[in-house]
Chain A
Amino acid sequence: MAGFTPTAIELILLNAVGVFSVYIVLSGGLFAFAFVVFMGIGAYAAAILASHGHSSMLVQALTGIGIAAVSAMLLFLMVARLRGIYLGIVTVGLTAIFGALINNFPHLTGGPLGLPGVSLNVHLPALIAAVGFLCVVFAAIQHSKLGRRVKLLRTDPLVAGTLGVNVRLLSGGLFVASSVVAAFAGCLQAHYLGFVSPDSFNFTTLILFLEMAVIGGVSHWAGPIVGALVVTMIPQWLQSFQILSPVVSGAILLLTILFLPEGIVGGVLVLGRSAVIALRGEPRNGGVGTRTETR
């Protein structure tokens, strides 16, 4: 298919790693949008360590992930009581604060100019390995008891509690796990681009990754990859009509929300199921048995 240059594929995979961090929180029904902050922490940890002569990517990644995880834990202790849109507002606010911080401490972060000097050592094989690893992990989780708990938490937290799910602990776990993946994504990005800049970690980034997560869907582990693919490729496919690309992105997002609330992957699975039932010739609601009553 047109447009799938090696660079485009690398970009899709790079974005997919980031989308997994959004997927983790949204799959538990948590509107926690601090992932951009944690991506920034991962990226800036790499760049700052590199500028101080610590060139080992492993050390940089572990530092970034460690800082992100600890700050996510502290943050969760503060926001654990918040639900729904309120958690969303606080975490969007944090993204703005983070942007202000990195812009205003130039001796550490390079300020608005960003920090160069990160070694360029992330290429296609590393990205394939990273995304493949995340897919295996989340596919395994989805079909485990943990996956069932997460699904229940997303669908109905009250019922989750009465079915033995420790709602607070699981929410906190998802929040911290999301921060770990986000910091890892940030570190990969720094090593892929060779520099970090505040422009990569602002409100626009938040919207972009959220769009990818929602379009792909959060009910299946393949959602982040499909979402990253669609949203990353739209500007490539519309190269001669650049001006249309945000319009098309917006339209796809709107259509997904309206007609495929479980995202493209979840929607395709449901439609596929209906198609199988139709092909077998079973009536959609008949065959349900002798005990059919009306509401």
Chain B
Amino acid sequence: MTLLSVREASKHFGALRAVNEVSFDLEPGEICGLVGPNGSGKTTLVNVITGVLSPTGGSVGIAGVESSQLRSHAIARLGVSRTFQLIRLLRFSSVRENVRMGLLPVPSKLPLRSWVQPAALGADRRRRSALVDEAIERLDLEHVSSRLVRELPFGLERRVELARALVSKPQLLILDEPAAGVTAADMRDLNRIIQEESSRGCGVLLVDHNLRFVLDTCPRLVVMNFGQLIYDGTSAAAVDEPRVREAYVGT
């Protein structure tokens, strides 16, 4: 089944057509780059997909569920995780506490009667705790897990946000500029994690304007300019596409 299906989605702010009749699909396990110059509507499109903004027109489907009228919390519960262009963490909370927030969309699946069974509650708590440990370990954050986020350097904050997005084992992961301002070593780790998520069957939509990084990471590329989709195809062919060159380099 198609994981993400965007059909002629539009988001207009008055006369400004931030996203204009964009259509594309994403399959499970697929890694797709979403690129475009500043102001081309990438983040608005991400906000429409994740329910932060409701579309002015068109439809969005996630794993077969029509989601364009759902609010963001309902979309999160469908298994959609995202990171933000400007890091949004709880700065006065510990790294571990922040990562644990990522489990909020995951229902505990406990039958009601287990509320009086300490054993079942304990098992559930241990299972969640193990998930948090796993995410922290995957992003090499063990040594800072009890630190407050505000005490961390920028590169580590990005890792914490990624751990928070991964801890729920999403089926669709949307990364908004994850490579902005991070080191080459961090980018290699990011690339590795994206590939791992993909082989687990998670669809990844990677928004960035670092074209080099996107080309290295994503076999497929979707390019936007002035709110419209101007290219959808392989990354390799994208650089030779005149419209993409024009949007990026100018005429």
A interface list, Cβ under 8 A from B: 145, 148-149, 151-152, 155-156, 158-168, 219, 262, 266, 270, 273, 284-285, 287-289, 291-295
Are the CB atoms of B104 and A294 closer together than 8 Å? Answer: no
- Docked Cα-Cα span, A114 to B102, in Å, equals 52
- Docked Cα-Cα span, A168 to B50, in Å, equals 17
- From B6-14, B58-66, B84-92, B241-249, give the one contacting chain A: B84-92
User: B52 is contacted by which of A162, A273, A284 (Cβ under 8 Å)?
Assistant: A162
Give chain A nearest CB distance to B144 CB in angstroms: 6
- Docked Cα-Cα span, A17 to B39, in Å, equals 50
Are the CB atoms of B73 and A161 closer together than 8 Å? Answer: yes
- Docked Cα-Cα span, A168 to B73, in Å, equals 10
B-chain residues with CB within 8 Å of residue A159 when the two chains form the complex? 84, 88
B-chain residues with CB within 8 Å of residue A161 when the two chains form the complex? 51-52, 71-73, 76
Tier of interface size on chain B? 35 or more
User: B153 is contacted by which of A156, A167, A273, A293 (Cβ under 8 Å)?
Assistant: A293
B-chain residues with CB within 8 Å of residue A163 when the two chains form the complex? 73, 76, 101-102, 104-105, 164
- A148 and B104 in contact, given A161-B52, A291-B155, A295-B153 (Cβ under 8 angstroms): yes
- A291 and B140 in contact, given A155-B90, A163-B104 (Cβ under 8 angstroms): yes
B-chain residues with CB within 8 Å of residue A149 when the two chains form the complex? 104
B-chain residues with CB within 8 Å of residue A167 when the two chains form the complex? 71-73
- Docked Cα-Cα span, A289 to B154, in Å, equals 13
Q: Decide yes or no whether B209 CB sits under 8 A from chain A.
A: no
A-B contacts, 6 of them at CB < 8 A, read A156-B88, A160-B73, A161-B73, A162-B82, A165-B104, A293-B182
Q: Decide yes or no whether B236 CB sits under 8 A from chain A.
A: no
Are the CB atoms of B90 and A158 closer together than 8 Å? Answer: no
B-chain residues with CB within 8 Å of residue A262 when the two chains form the complex? 92
CB contact list, B87-132 vs A, under 8 A: 88, 90, 92-93, 97, 100-102, 104-106
Are the CB atoms of B100 and A148 closer together than 8 Å? Answer: yes
- Docked Cα-Cα span, A63 to B116, in Å, equals 32
Chain A residue nearest to B154 (CB atoms) is A295
- Docked Cα-Cα span, A152 to B93, in Å, equals 10
Give chain A nearest CB distance to B176 CB in angstroms: 11
Chain A residue nearest to B147 (CB atoms) is A288
- A293 and B183 in contact, given A152-B90, A288-B147 (Cβ under 8 angstroms): yes
Give chain A nearest CB distance to B27 CB in angstroms: 23
Chain A residue nearest to B140 (CB atoms) is A291
Chain B residue nearest to A287 (CB atoms) is B143
A-chain residues with CB within 8 Å of residue B51 when the two chains form the complex? 161-162
B-chain residues with CB within 8 Å of residue A165 when the two chains form the complex? 73, 104
A-chain residues with CB within 8 Å of residue B190 when the two chains form the complex? none
- Docked Cα-Cα span, A219 to B148, in Å, equals 15
